[in-house]
Structure 1
Amino acid sequence: MQEDTVPKFVSFDPAFDEAIGPSASVRLLHRDPQGRPLFHEAGVHLATDHCVYLTSNRMPSKSYSQKINVVRIDLNTLDAKGIESALTVVDEADMPRSLAMPNGGTPYFDGKVLFCEQGRHGESAEGNGSVESALVSLSHKDMRTNVELDSFQGKPFSSLNDVVVHEQSGAVFFTDPDYGVEQNFKKDDKEYAPNGLYVWQPLTGKVELLDDRYCKPNGVTFVPDKTQPGKGTLITTETSQFRFQRDASAAMGSRFYEDREKGGACLFAYPIEPSSEGRGGLPQVGERRLFAKSRSGIPDGVHPDDLGNVWAGHGDGVHVYGSDGRLIGKVLLEKGVANLCWAGPGPEKGTFRLLLFAEEELYEATVAVNGRD
């Protein structure tokens, strides 16, 4: 690949070279012929069925002002027949009623997917009522859903964004920004739970607001410390540099703008200690520190690799940070990446597949390191 072409890998540190390996590659896997932004968020790899679930960006809808579809990629079919045969788009009109405007997601108990349902205010031609934002589990075998959590201290969530499970305790970390209000699919005359980072223990029902110092909390992931189960670092992203203004005359009811002076575009880190109660308890969360600042747009979805590096979607592709927050490399694309997903073994022994979500385009990278949600 020529130096002046994209996509490509750009290394700033030997640690990045180790992560991608000598035979790393990246290619455009699919471009939606209709120009739909099908490849946006979530990115949940279910290893037992070798498939990936992800969510689209907002699109116009016949029943509502806007919708978000769920996309499924069957990886066995991808390898045997190609992406066109492997790709299934589930239109929101054909989805369960209890999954409105889904965004981030993570593998959940019993082989399910836990989605962040952003919800919507009632506006359909059929007269359906409002759907509150909630953590919703999806059984991919029969597409049945269940609302797991939809409020904090009696107040509904605004538009839940991203979620990750702490394996040692079973606790769930999640973020809640008010993008739904700004993007005009949630009411602006209602009191919601605070924008912030939360933790919830499904086994006891306990919910805690960990940090409300965010304007637009977004991505969240857990980087394990191999020395002790449950110990590690929680990484989050702040994306308030990208804002929306409600405008009924604009496409889908809002206008995008950047707030470079007041808005944030950075990653934060929290030290995590294991739950002293084990399964069913809550992990101990330490003080927040600045982990890194974005050099291109906002950092969105974040995921660690098995070496402890943090991979994050950015305005020019994917940025990779060492465990100390240093930018060690990039997967450079011509456009931004909202999220990414490790998706099992790569084509060669000792390699791993990484899917990159770039709105109407889906990219596939092959690297030497595996990763996790």
Structure 2
Amino acid sequence: MAETSIYEIHDPRFRHLIVTSAHLDELYSGCRWAEGPVWFNDANQLLWSDIPNQRMLRWTPDGGVSAYRQPSNFVNGHTRDRQGRLVSCEHGTRRVTRTEIDGAITVLADRFEGARLNSPNDVVVKSDGTIWFTDPTYGILSDYEGYRADPEQQAQNVFRLDPETGDLSAVATDFIQPNGLAFSPDESLLYVADSAASHDDSLPRHIRVFDVAEGKRLENGRVFCLIDNGIPDGIRTDTNGNLWSSAGDGVHCFDPAGRLLGKIKVPQTVANLCFGGPKRNRLFITATRSLYALYVTATGAQVP
């Protein structure tokens, strides 16, 4: 392993994914727990969550940072659907919502089999329009990131929602605390983080991977990689199938076989990340109090 400025090089291939002279820019500081970054290329803006402060923030290259929504219902993870609409996970209301073009809020899911969801955490949209999200208990454990409550679900599930029919199905039911999730570029695989070690060091701190069968079922779940510092939270893939994960010491990058390629060292614990910018080659990182950005040579796989 070699170290170059903010980078830890564990495999020479990592050098082809990073710009060693690039600077880690701190774009904003003042959050309590920054989360859920999502890039809007058509609006040239990034939105992200500051969960305990009950707000969503907006960053633009020319305008800096401004408030986007407050109160936010302790909103956490975000993505965009294939029509470019914002899809969000709300801890406070224990639901998944969609922000329409006119600003109206549509509730997509808040119950499963008659019981309230735990606290939807992170979300991705597949090319067929289906919405996949995780439902751990973080938002009901205390009044800091939501409202303390007893869980009504029997498990912490990964869900698949068909927004056209409203059909909601639990596609993975054996997680302790499912967290970030991301499809491989061809959507044949779904990666899901289990961050249970956040509250018990003896519990998982790994990312699992599943085969996506017929576009709607998960099969052959297995451990993809372990995080050796902190826990995995938000994750993303690039166009070459590498997986980029949040961690206690920064961002860890793994090849499609689960081998650690390298790390980007960040001064604060990283919660989430996304690729953005006009070329999807700028990594936006939410880390505890701050929003950071770093140019890389990798290209984010997520669309839009």
Query: Does the alignment reach a TM-score above 0.5?
Result: yes
Displacement of 1:31: 4.3
Structure 2 CA distance for partners of 1:174 and 1:91, relative to 1, 3 Å: closer
Structure 2 CA distance for partners of 1:310 and 1:190, relative to 1, 3 Å: closer
Does residue 181 in structure 1 map to residue 114 in structure 2?
no
Aligned positions of 1:140-219 closer than 5 A: 142-167=102-127, 169-184=128-143, 185-189=146-150, 191-192=152-153, 194-219=155-180
Q: TM-score, normalised by structure 1?
A: 0.75
Aligned positions of 1:313-328 closer than 5 A: 313-328=246-261
SS of corresponding position for 2:132: strand
Alignment counterpart, residue 75 of structure 2, candidates 91, 102, 124: 102
Q: Give yes or no for contact 2:41–2:278 (8 Å, CA) kept in 1.
A: no
Q: Give the structure 1 partner of residue 209 of structure 2.
A: 269
Q: Give the structure 1 partner of residue 193 of structure 2.
A: 237
Q: % of aligned pairs identical?
A: 28
The structure having more radius of gyration, on CA atoms, is 1
Deviations 1:139-191 (A, max 9, x none): 4x653321111111111101100010111x22111100011221233343452
Structure 2 CA distance for partners of 1:4 and 1:48, relative to 1, 3 Å: closer
Aligned AA (1:365):
L
Does residue 296 in structure 1 map to residue 229 in structure 2?
yes
Does residue 114 in structure 1 map to residue 100 in structure 2?
no
Alignment counterpart, residue 43 of structure 1, candidates 29, 37, 47: 37
Q: Give the structure 2 partner of residue 354 of structure 1.
A: 283
SS of corresponding position for 2:301: coil
Deviations 1:297-351 (A, max 9, x none): 00110000111100011000000011011111110122211111111247xxxx8
Q: Give yes or no for contact 2:160–2:168 (8 Å, CA) kept in 1.
A: yes
Alignment counterpart, residue 275 of structure 2, candidates 336, 342, 351: 342
Q: Give the structure 2 partner of residue 246 of structure 1.
A: none
Structure 2 CA distance for partners of 1:296 and 1:109, relative to 1, 3 Å: same
Q: Give yes or no for contact 1:237–1:266 (8 Å, CA) kept in 2.
A: yes
Bigger fraction of residues in strand: 2
Q: Give yes or no for contact 1:135–1:148 (8 Å, CA) kept in 2.
A: yes
Deviations 1:5-49 (A, max 9, x none): 6xx12211132122225x5513232342xx4336x2211111211
> Hey, what's the Cα distance between the residues in 2 that align with 1:150 and 1:57?
19
> Hey, what's the Cα distance between the residues in 1 that align with 2:244 and 2:118?
27
Deviations 1:236-268 (A, max 9, x none): 11111112xxxxxxxxxxxxxxx112x211100
Structure 1 window deviating more from structure 2 (23-32 vs 298-307): it is 23-32
Structure 2 CA distance for partners of 1:103 and 1:137, relative to 1, 3 Å: same
SS of corresponding position for 1:286: strand
Aligned AA (2:75):
P
Q: Structure 2: 5+ residue runs without aligned partners?
A: none
Aligned positions of 1:50-129 closer than 5 A: 50-59=44-53, 68-75=54-61, 77=62, 85-90=63-68, 92-93=70-71, 99-119=72-92
Q: TM-score, normalised by structure 2?
A: 0.91
Q: Structure 1: 5+ residue runs without aligned partners?
A: 60-67, 78-84, 94-98, 120-131, 226-230, 244-258, 276-282
Q: Give yes or no for contact 1:158–1:193 (8 Å, CA) kept in 2.
A: no
Q: How many residues align?
A: 299
Q: Give the structure 2 partner of residue 96 of structure 1.
A: none
Q: Give yes or no for contact 2:250–2:267 (8 Å, CA) kept in 1.
A: yes
SS of corresponding position for 2:23: strand
Alpha-carbon RMSD across the aligned residues, in angstroms, is: 2.2
Bigger fraction of residues in helix: 1
Structure 2 CA distance for partners of 1:308 and 1:176, relative to 1, 3 Å: same
